[in-house]
């Protein structure tokens, strides 16, 4: 008979009960509990927040981990009811650490042994700890970052998170090459050569609750780059990874990582620089990009869009326009974005400042929906690729849908406004047929260069010369006069 994986005590009358028997009772209960723990993915159940702490007025000197509950890769319960403090690493050549939860057994108590023939209980100097506390400890595991991740770069945090997410995707061993980041050799790999019968496997990694980074200004925390909450079963997570899909806990982590970093980098209300302030080089470059894009649109014989771009750029140069956005996501340290997320907004002038958050080459489409519909559409982006903001990110140039929450009924899409403090974005999921890429106007036919309408549902115009509701494309059949919306906002299909 082979050794059983789970063994229980078989008691009977006359059994001389010893420590080994009581221990087996505990081991049986422990084995059942851990098997149930393994039936769900490892991860955080609640708590385990992170905070940098130190003496008032001084730089942080320790990392505090708040109480919480998690399950590790062995199915063990990691429960902490008090804050755990860990000293921050000394200055060295390491710039990133993974904050991990690990188990720690701590014997305690003191009892004399009365049945051991080799021990004299009357001596009083020999005792055994009768209890073992199952505690939680914190480990900072150094990460070997790629050489191109410059610690002094403003994009260091975003690039580390993006690298970590991509490493996690590849670790899932996708059988289908569905990402723009996949090399050409993988994209051409026959799917008939893949092993579709391989069973799922358990992870062996410790539970991560965040990344600790050291950039040019000191230590910074990025919780959601590494933290994964306990959501799915192991087979569901494994097969999602193999089928080039994104597990829900990974999608939520990528979205929350962006929102957290955006909140810490956003300069203030609406991200606006008051008029009269000296323009930094990134601002001058941003204005130059606007003027360049306006000239390109003029060459394409599009008369309405260049006017707004030129007027906005001139107002910025003259320091007269307080409503002009002076920042971009790249300036804030982002080189790529999650497949969907939320951006700060204010009522009015959404067309004027939202496009300037993105690279000038971006194809942007604006659509209006009910706010609760937008929440659903953001969730639908779970399996989409991340959105590049630089040419080397794959899938360049990006195509993005801006989803504006509006009241119902909504009657006018020509001056798109919202009563909410946010708009949402997602990677455009549908590009209608067209004869020429709308981001490259060379060789367009006169019909394709005709002024575009406001788009279906009255959602208005787009950046980069694209009509609303087309995902950045300009169909040759687009009529030249605006149409009156005949459907309520948010009623168009999820095809943009």
Q: Which residues contact 241 (CB under 8 A, 6 or more apart)?
A: 169, 171, 172, 173, 174, 247
Give CA–CA dist 287/290, Å, rounded.
5
pLDDT at 471: 36
Which pLDDT band holds residue 434 (cuts at 50, 70, 90)? very low
Q: Does residue 338 contact residue 482 with C-beta atoms inside 8 Å?
A: no
pLDDT at 396: 83
| 15-19, 192-196, 395-399: range with lowest mean pLDDT | 395-399
Which pLDDT band holds residue 41 (cuts at 50, 70, 90)? confident
Angle, helix 156-171 to helix 248-265, in steps of 10 degrees: 180
pLDDT for residue 176 is more than 80: yes
Query: Nearest Cα to 402, choosing from 474, 346, 343?
Result: 343
Residue 138 corresponds to which tokens in the numbers above?
């914190």
Q: What is the dihedral of CA 293, 296, 298, 304, to 10 degrees?
A: -40
pLDDT at 226: 97
pLDDT for residue 474 is more than 50: no
Which pLDDT band holds residue 88 (cuts at 50, 70, 90)? very high
Residue 398 corresponds to which tokens in the numbers above?
């990006």
pLDDT at 305: 54
Which pLDDT band holds residue 285 (cuts at 50, 70, 90)? low
**Cα–chain-centroid distance for residue 491?**
28
The backbone torsions φ and ψ at residue 303, rounded to the nearest 5 degrees and listed phi first, read -90, -25
Which pLDDT band holds residue 494 (cuts at 50, 70, 90)? very low
Residue 376 corresponds to which tokens in the numbers above?
């659903």
Q: Of the ranges 16-25, 119-128, 247-256, 320-329, which is most confident? A: 247-256
Angle, helix 304-318 to helix 281-299, in steps of 10 degrees: 160
pLDDT for residue 427 is more than 80: yes
Q: Does residue 54 contact residue 35 with C-beta atoms inside 8 Å?
A: no
pLDDT at 117: 61
More reliable by pLDDT, 439 or 362: 362
Over residues 61-68, mean pLDDT: 96
Over residues 260-268, mean pLDDT: 87
Q: Which residue has the tokens 């779970």?
A: 382
Query: Nearest Cα to 297, choosing from 495, 107, 461, 493?
Result: 461
pLDDT at 290: 67
More reliable by pLDDT, 348 or 83: 83
pLDDT at 473: 34
Domain ranges of the chain: 41-108+130-265, 270-465
Q: Of the ranges 84-88, 278-282, 301-305, which is most confident? A: 84-88
pLDDT at 280: 46
- Which residues sit opposite 400 in a β-bridge? 364, 427
Over residues 310-329, mean pLDDT: 61
pTM of the model: 0.75
Residue 308 corresponds to which tokens in the numbers above?
């707004």
More reliable by pLDDT, 481 or 79: 79
| 52-61, 175-184, 309-318, 455-464: range with lowest mean pLDDT | 455-464
pLDDT at 426: 96
| Mean predicted lDDT score pLDDT of the chain | 79
Give CA–CA dist 440/450, Å, rounded.
15
């Amino acid at each position: 008979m082979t050794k059983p994986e789970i063994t229980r005590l078989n008691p009977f009358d006359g059994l001389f009960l010893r420590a080994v028997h009581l221990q087996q009772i505990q081991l049986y209960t422990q084995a059942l509990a851990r098997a149930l723990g393994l039936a769900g993915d490892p991860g955080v159940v609640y708590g385990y927040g992170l905070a940098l702490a130190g003496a008032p007025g001084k730089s942080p000197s320790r990392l505090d981990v708040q109480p919480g509950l998690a399950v590790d890769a062995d199915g063990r319960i990691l429960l902490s009811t008090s804050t755990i403090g860990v000293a921050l690493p000394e200055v060295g050549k390491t710039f990133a650490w993974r904050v991990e939860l690990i188990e720690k057994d701590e014997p305690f108590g003191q009892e004399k042994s009365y049945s051991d023939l080799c021990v004299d209980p009357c001596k009083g100097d020999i005792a055994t700890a009768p209890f073992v506390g199952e505690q939680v400890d914190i480990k900072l595991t150094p990460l070997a970052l790629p050489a191109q991740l410059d610690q002094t770069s403003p994009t260091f945090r975003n690039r580390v998170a993006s690298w970590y997410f991509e490493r996690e995707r590849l670790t899932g061993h996708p059988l289908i090459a569905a990402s723009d980041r996949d090399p050409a050799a993988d994209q051409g790999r026959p799917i008939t050569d893949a092993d579709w019968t391989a069973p799922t496997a358990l992870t062996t990694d410790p539970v991560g609750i965040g990344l600790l980074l050291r950039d040019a200004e000191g230590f910074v925390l990025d919780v959601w780059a590494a933290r994964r909450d306990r959501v799915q079963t192991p087979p569901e997570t494994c097969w999602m990874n193999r089928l080039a899909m994104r597990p829900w806990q990974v999608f939520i982590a990528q979205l929350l990582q962006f929102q957290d970093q955006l909140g810490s980098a956003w300069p203030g209300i609406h991200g606006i620089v008051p008029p009269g302030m000296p323009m930094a080089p990134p601002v001058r470059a941003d204005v130059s990009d606007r003027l360049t894009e306006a000239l390109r649109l003029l060459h394409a014989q599009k008369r309405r869009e260049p006017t707004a771009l030129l007027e906005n750029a001139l107002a910025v140069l003259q320091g007269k326009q307080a409503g002009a956005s002076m920042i971009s996501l790249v300036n804030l340290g982002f080189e790529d974005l999650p497949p969907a997320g939320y951006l700060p907004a204010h009522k009015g002038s959404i067309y004027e400042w939202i496009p300037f958050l993105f690279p000038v080459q971006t194809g942007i489409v604006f659509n209006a929906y009910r706010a609760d519909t937008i929440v659903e559409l953001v969730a639908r982006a779970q399996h989409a690729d991340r959105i590049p903001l630089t040419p080397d990110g794959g899938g360049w140039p990006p195509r993005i849908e801006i989803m504006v929450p509006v009241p119902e009924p909504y009657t006018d899409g020509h001056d798109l406004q919202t009563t909410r403090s946010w708009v949402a974005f997602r990677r455009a999921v549908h590009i209608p047929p067209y004869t020429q890429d709308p981001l490259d106007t060379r060789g367009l036919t006169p019909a394709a260069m005709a002024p575009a309408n406001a788009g279906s549902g009255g959602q208005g115009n787009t950046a980069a010369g694209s009509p609303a509701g087309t995902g950045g494309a300009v169909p040759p059949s687009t009529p030249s006069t605006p149409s009156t919306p005949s459907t309520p906002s948010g009623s168009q299909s999820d095809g943009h």
